[in-house]
Structure 1
Amino acid sequence: MSGNVDRSYEGELKSLDTMIAQMGGLAEQALGQAIDALYHRDPDLAEVTLANDRSIDTLERLVDELAISIIARRAPVASDLRQIVTAIRIALDLERIGDLSKNIAKRAIAIAAEPRPKQVMTGFVHIGEAALRQLKDVLDAYSQRDADAALAVWQRDQEIDAMYNSLYSELLTTMMDEPQSASVYAHLLFGAKNIERIGDHATNIAETIYFLIHGKALGDERPKADSTSSLTLGRLMPAKA
């Protein structure tokens, strides 16, 4: 009887991992689709992204329900408890990544009929690809229980921040030069911020993986390089001769 209980318990823990893997795959897909929809002005692809977000939400709810059920019935301790808490935390971050991708898709629909500023869009795609790499790498780190790989993702968050700073400045400058297209650039600004936040959630997951493996939080301060909160229009405008 004890063996059957043990196998059932192991199966429940594996189910949590399986659902996190499914959520991760859907989150990667959602982000990639949202970026493509915005770049190619494809409202149909954006609508697909919006529809797929419901699957991520459903899985997040199932992870929570199973995790709470395991805690109530099994009273897990030590590494098992950390695995369950980790699943809840990562599911929440992945659900937020799905929401942020959905927001990008909504921007794609809003500006689908507008002209496409190629130079700015190139920068947008670059930061999107960087966020996708972060997400893929941190999900691989989770599946492999690799704390070093998770730490590498955590340390790279500044790269996305630097790309966001550059894109933010470029978008504001272009908006001032082309006031007739201000609404397009405003949507792109919000979309870029969504991507920067996705990078933050990937970093959250990296911290959670470190906790899962080592049983303690990262002691170092999170590396951040987002300076847009202190950027003013005066700093963007050229000085008068």
Structure 2
Amino acid sequence: MPSREQFHSEMEELNQDIIRIANKTKKALSNSIDALFNQDIELAKQVVSDDKLIDKEEASINDKTILLIAKQQPVATDLRRLIITLRVATDIERMGDNAKNIAKSTIRLGKDYQEEIPKELRTMSNTALVMLETALSAFQQEDISFAQKLAEMDDKVDKLYKQVVTNMLGKTAINSEEVQYLMQIAFSARYIERFADHITNIGESILFLVKGEIVDLND
């Protein structure tokens, strides 16, 4: 196979690796939120365990990308595309870490807390999952019109995050269990907000790939 065709074949393999790890991260967030709302400690533990697989896949993507750079010595857009692959893989891995941290909050809360989980967390999570699907479409098609939609959705997540934190600060905790509840809910909201921020980072990477411009979608 000619060198150019080999490059495109290996690049497509990397793209599929990105989609696969992103889908695992999507499942991690969905499961971590389900575990939180259902007090499902076993599911939360599974999310924590599965995060190791996401870490391994990110390391594999990094190794493949660096090897491809060394073999092909790409320039211009090809080099930029590989650098973006590294950046996107890193953001996805950190999204997995945020999902894992939500699961850890669920484990810390245990099965006996009586307080209701704020419904805003579910809305935040659902919005983040739509953002991830949008970002993956942008990545696959290198379409900046998808990437530019992410900022508006991220604003929605940010507003809900502030609402949750404000509500938590307005509550009075009179014992250690209530303090733990307020802390873990606030942390979980923050983890979802950070999950969404990493998705906007992916959008920024796509904008840079296509237009060669640095754009801050988190601004």
Asked if residue 48 in structure 1 is aligned to residue 46 in structure 2, the reply is: yes
Shift in Å at residue 222 of structure 1?
3.9
Ranges of 4+ aligned residues in structure 1 off by more than 3 Å = 221-224
**Root-mean-square deviation over aligned CA pairs:** 1.5
**2:130 counterpart (119, 129, 133):** 133
Contact 1:90-1:208 within 8 A present in 2 as well: yes
Amino acid at match of 1:179: I
Q: Which runs of 5+ in 1 are unaligned?
A: 225-241
**1:76 counterpart (62, 74, 77):** 74
Q: Which runs of 5+ in 2 are unaligned?
A: none
Shift in Å at residue 49 of structure 1?
0.7
2:20 corresponding residue in structure 1? 22
Equivalent position SS for 1:7: helix
1:97 corresponding residue in structure 2? 95
Residues matched between the structures, number: 217
Distance 1:96 1:116 in 2: 31
Contact 2:120-2:164 within 8 A present in 1 as well: yes
Amino acid at match of 2:98: L
1:197 corresponding residue in structure 2? 194
Distance 1:156 1:179 in 2: 36
TM-score scaled by length of structure 1? 0.85
Shift in Å at residue 6 of structure 1?
2.5
1:112 corresponding residue in structure 2? 110
Per-residue CA shift, 1:91-139, capped at 9, x if unaligned?
0000000111101001111112232422x42122111212222122112
Distance 2:114 2:91 in 1: 31
Contact 1:155-1:223 within 8 A present in 2 as well: no
Per-residue CA shift, 1:18-74, capped at 9, x if unaligned?
110011100100010111111110011111111211111111111111111111111
Contact 1:154-1:207 within 8 A present in 2 as well: no
Contact 2:142-2:206 within 8 A present in 1 as well: yes
Distance 1:76 1:216 in 2: 20
Shift in Å at residue 215 of structure 1?
2.0
Q: Over alpha carbons, which structure has the higher Rg?
A: 1
Contact 2:150-2:217 within 8 A present in 1 as well: no
Asked if residue 168 in structure 1 is aligned to residue 165 in structure 2, the reply is: yes
Amino acid at match of 1:161: D
* Pair 179,128 (structure 1): closer, same or farther in 2 beyond 3 Å: farther
Per-residue CA shift, 1:155-191, capped at 9, x if unaligned?
33211111101010111212x1x43311111111111
Contact 2:14-2:65 within 8 A present in 1 as well: yes
1:64 corresponding residue in structure 2? 62
TM-score scaled by length of structure 2? 0.94
Shift in Å at residue 223 of structure 1?
4.6
Determine what percentage of the aligned residue pairs are the same residue: 30
